[in-house]
Chain A
Amino acid sequence: MSITATLIGELIAFTVFVLFCMKFVWPPLNGAIEARQKKIEDGLAASDRAEKDLELAQKKAAQQLKDAKDQAADIIEQAKKRAVLIVDEETVRGQEEREKIIAQGHSEIESERNRVTEELRTQVATLAVVGAERILEREINQAAHSDIVEKLVAEL
Chain B
Amino acid sequence: MAAEEVTISSHIQHHLTNAKMCMTDSGLAFNKACADSGFWTWNIDTLAWSIGLGLIFLWIFRSAAKKAHTGVPGKFQCFIEMIVEFVGDNVRDTYHGKSKLIAPLALTIFVWVFLMNLMDLIPVDFLPALAGFVGEQAFGMDSHDVYMKIVPTTDINLTAALALGVFILMIGYSIKIKGVGGFIKELTLHPFSANSKIAMIFLIPCNLLLETIALVSKPFSLALRLFGNLYAGELIFILIGAVGLMQLPLHFVWAVFHILVIVLQAFVFMMLTIVYLSMASSDNH
Q: Does B172 belong to the interface (CB within 8 Å)?
A: no
Measured between beta carbons, the chain B residues less than 8 angstroms from A4 are 38-43, 157
- Over the window 98-116 of chain B, the binary record of Cβ atoms lying under 8 Å from chain A Cβ atoms (1 yes, 0 no) is 0011011101100010000
Residues of A that sit less than 8 Å from B by CB: 1-11, 13-15, 17-18, 20-22, 24-26, 28-33, 35-36, 39
Query: Could you tell me if A22 and B68 are in contact, using CB atoms closer than 8 angstroms?
Result: no
Query: Could you tell me if B162 and A25 are in contact, using CB atoms closer than 8 angstroms?
Result: no
Measured between beta carbons, the chain A residues less than 8 angstroms from B80 are 29
The range of chain B's interface size is 35 or more
User: Given known contacts A6-B43, A9-B42, A17-B54, what 17 new A-B pairs fall within 8 Å (CB)?
Assistant: A4-B38, A6-B42, A6-B46, A6-B158, A7-B161, A14-B108, A17-B57, A18-B101, A20-B58, A22-B100, A22-B105, A25-B61, A25-B104, A26-B104, A29-B65, A32-B68, A33-B81
| Contacts known (A10-B162, A31-B68, A33-B84); A3 close to B104, Cβ less than 8 A | no
Give the number of A-B contacts (CB < 8 Å).
118
B window 137-176: CB within 8 A of A = 155-158, 160-162, 164-165
- Report the minimum CB–CB distance from A8 to chain B (whole Å): 8
- Report the minimum CB–CB distance from A3 to chain B (whole Å): 6
CA distance A28 to B80 in the complex (A): 12
Q: In the complex, which of the residues B51, B68, B103, B156 contacts A3, with contact meaning CB atoms closer than 8 Å? A: B156
What are 17 sample pairs from A and B whose C-beta atoms fall under 8 A apart?
A4-B39, A5-B42, A6-B46, A6-B47, A7-B157, A8-B161, A10-B47, A11-B161, A13-B50, A14-B161, A18-B105, A20-B62, A24-B62, A26-B104, A28-B68, A29-B84, A35-B70
Chain A's interface: helix, strand, loop or mixed, by majority?
A: helix
Query: Could you tell me if A29 and B157 are in contact, using CB atoms closer than 8 angstroms?
Result: no
Q: Does B85 belong to the interface (CB within 8 Å)?
A: yes
Measured between beta carbons, the chain B residues less than 8 angstroms from A11 are 161, 164-165
CA distance A1 to B16 in the complex (A): 9
| Contacts known (A18-B108, A29-B64, A29-B65); A3 close to B39, Cβ less than 8 A | yes
Q: Does B75 belong to the interface (CB within 8 Å)?
A: no
CA distance A31 to B65 in the complex (A): 10
Q: In the complex, which of the residues B41, B47, B73, B103 contacts A26, with contact meaning CB atoms closer than 8 Å? A: B103
Shortest Cβ distance from A28 into B: residue: B65
